[in-house]
Structure 1
Amino acid sequence: MPTEPNAVTTSSLPLRLLRSPLGRILVFFLTLTLIGMVLGRIYSGLNLPQGHLAMRDVTPLLAAFKIAPAVLAYWLLVRTIENRRVDELAPRKALPHLLAGIAAGALVFSLVVGSLWAFGAYVVDGTNRDVAWLGPILVLGVGAGVVEEIISRGVIFRIVEEGLGTWAALFISAALFGGLHIWNPNATAWSAIAIALEAGLLFGLLYHVTRSLWVCMGAHAAWNVTQGPVYGIPVSGFEQQGLLRSHMQGPDWLTGGAFGAEASVVALAICSMVTAGCLAVAVRRGSLVVPAWRRKRVTSA
């Protein structure tokens, strides 16, 4: 039978509005903003570095201040407004689900790079011995993986799915995810569309079939770290120095241009195949969620 999100019922109109999909999304972003302001004051009070920092200069403490607002806001939303356990981030699932996600993310991007190499687009010039690992892993892996997955999949996809169903949640969360990358260096309209189609849809369906943010975080982090610190390819427009000293050659539609391999049709094709596999799992399970009004109509009948 289809798996439907848990509905929260209450006789109080204000609480019904607060616990509605739109209400919870607004509460999350308001809480995120308030927590960010408080932690920003603490950050300044500790005389920690201000302004833009190079990735190699980011420390675990600095990364924690960037990640904490999203984590705390999400925990408060689930525990107080939704009044349930945070099953999608259950501690007992952390290690196995993270490892599964990391393996999947590294494998998929390695398939992208292998294909580009086979086409003659990805060329290895040598190796770098002085790669800064910690900062890029904290920023591209932990930071992007945790914050972007909580917002895009934990909040937008999951909550929209409750109200409008899986298909609407997929397209809305993917469009927002791609749109957020339009502000990155070297970004174009095509790169934003590519990110939405290859990563937005893939990670949305990955969450749908696993109901685990750990898996999505691991896959997202591994994708970024494998792309930049390992293969030396720009990550969403940000130049990287990787373990492999490399360069791209060929037309932008093949290489992704200055934005990186995420804007390549090769990445889009491979990710689309993985997305189709996740969709096939969802269809076979019968887990795709229909809009709330259709569920109510069936219940009434």
Structure 2
Amino acid sequence: MHDPSIAFITPARAPAWKRWLLFSPLARIVIFVALFLLTGFVIGFLSSVLGWGTKSTTLLQHPLGLLIGRALPAIVAYLLLAGLVERRSPSELTPNKLLPYGAAGLLLGTVLFSAVVGMLYLLGSYHVTGFNPDPPWLPELLVYGLAAGISEEILFRGVLYRIVEEGLGTWAALIVSALFFGVAHIFNPGATLWSSVAIAIEAGLLFGLLYHVTRSLYLCMGVHAAWNFAQGTIYGIPVSGLKADGWLLSTRTGPRWLSGGIFGAEASVIALVLCLLCSTALLVIALRRRTIVPPLASRHVAASGTLLSSLQPCG
């Protein structure tokens, strides 16, 4: 019986060369990256022709260009991978799930980061110093929120987590996708080894488990986008080291492990603990549902054992 947690299974009659060069986990990841880079180059070229790729454009055109340049290549590459290579309709991106799952993700992400700020406030680390009535909220929503949420969730959860899980199982997928997610933020302004470890644990594991439990990229995108938007545009805290202008003008005091330092609250132990609690709850759900996917080799052994048992004569 096909495990619904596994989106793609190599066709039984596929020749050996296709199994390695087209259908293997590594091959599909490489194919996605190639499609992503090619599509990004084409969209970047068109954006430059239209004049949307420079900061000299209007206040809205530049962030729209960044949103299109980051999100659209990821979406197109993913749909091409699913349609042309895996020969499936990606249920994790079906249009009818966009509104309910996306809205739920936006709400969850806002509440989660608000809880982080609330704890920092109660511990005397977060301080509001003023109010900015006119922050550039729309460009920040488009770039820090939607562009990052869409592109990074497709890359790290839709491609890396999902495909590694299909080959090496859930535990390996959680570790690999979380590590790569942390490493991806190590070159951000103010980043340290600790901030990357924190990002890997609090966000990498959380988003991986969120995708595992729901099998929805829209929910992950919504949480990711709302987390970034709330952090920068609402509470005035740097987003992964990137300065953001928020409605609230704020400062954070105290030791770096508490405040997060110049990298932002994502490097705070408060964010780490709260996100770990959420991840633990999701893991409990996964264990109770028995949805943890074993490695492919173990699944083959189990399937062979089941087949042999069914061939045993009765009586």
Q: How does 1:22-61 map to 2 (within 5 A)?
A: 22-50=26-54, 58-61=62-65
Match of 1:290 among 294, 299, 305: 294
The answer to whether the 8 A contact 1:3-1:289 is kept is no
Look up the equivalent residue of 2:109 and give its one-letter code: G
1:81 is matched with 85
Aligned structure 1 segments of 4 or more residues deviating by more than 4 angstroms: 1-4, 51-57
Match of 1:14 among 17, 24, 27: 17
2:309 is matched with none
Q: How does 1:262-277 map to 2 (within 5 A)?
A: 262-277=266-281
Larger relative contact order, structure 1 or 2 (CA cutoff 8 Å, min sep 6) = 1
Q: How does 1:100-115 map to 2 (within 5 A)?
A: 100-115=104-119
1:8-31 deviation line (CA, Å, top 9, x unaligned): 213322221201111110100011
SS at 1:125's partner residue? strand
The answer to whether the 8 A contact 1:55-1:136 is kept is no
Gaps of 5+ in 1: none
The answer to whether the 8 A contact 2:63-2:139 is kept is yes
SS at 1:234's partner residue? coil
SS at 1:182's partner residue? coil
Offset of residue 241 of structure 1:
1.4
Offset of residue 41 of structure 1:
2.1
Q: Note closer, same or farther for the CA distance 1:49–1:199 as it changes in structure 2 (3 Å cut).
A: same
Look up the equivalent residue of 1:196 and give its one-letter code: A
Q: Give the TM-score, by structure 2 length.
A: 0.92
Tell me, in whole angstroms, the C-alpha distance in 2 between the residues paired with 1:122 and 1:79.
47
Deviates more, 1:4-13 or 1:212-221: 4-13
Give the percent of matched residue pairs that are identical in Structure 1 and Structure 2: 49
The answer to whether the 8 A contact 1:3-1:288 is kept is no
Offset of residue 49 of structure 1:
3.4
1:77-131 deviation line (CA, Å, top 9, x unaligned): 0011010111101100100000111111111111100000000000111211121
Q: How does 1:1-301 map to 2 (within 5 A)?
A: 3-5=4-6, 6-9=8-11, 10-17=13-20, 18-50=22-54, 58-301=62-305
1:200-236 deviation line (CA, Å, top 9, x unaligned): 0000000000000000000000000000000000100
Residue correspondences, number: 301
SS at 1:237's partner residue? coil
Greater Rg over alpha carbons, structure:
2
Look up the equivalent residue of 1:290 and give its one-letter code: P
Tell me, in whole angstroms, the C-alpha distance in 1 between the residues paired with 2:143 and 2:102.
17
Tell me, in whole angstroms, the C-alpha distance in 1 between the residues paired with 2:56 and 2:227.
24
Q: Note closer, same or farther for the CA distance 1:16–1:53 as it changes in structure 2 (3 Å cut).
A: farther
Tell me, in whole angstroms, the C-alpha distance in 2 between the residues paired with 1:186 and 1:126.
24
Tell me, in whole angstroms, the C-alpha distance in 2 between the residues paired with 1:102 and 1:74.
22
1:142-180 deviation line (CA, Å, top 9, x unaligned): 100000000000000000000000000000000000000
SS at 1:246's partner residue? strand
Tell me, in whole angstroms, the C-alpha distance in 1 between the residues paired with 2:203 and 2:57.
26
Q: Give the TM-score, by structure 1 length.
A: 0.96
Look up the equivalent residue of 1:98 and give its one-letter code: G
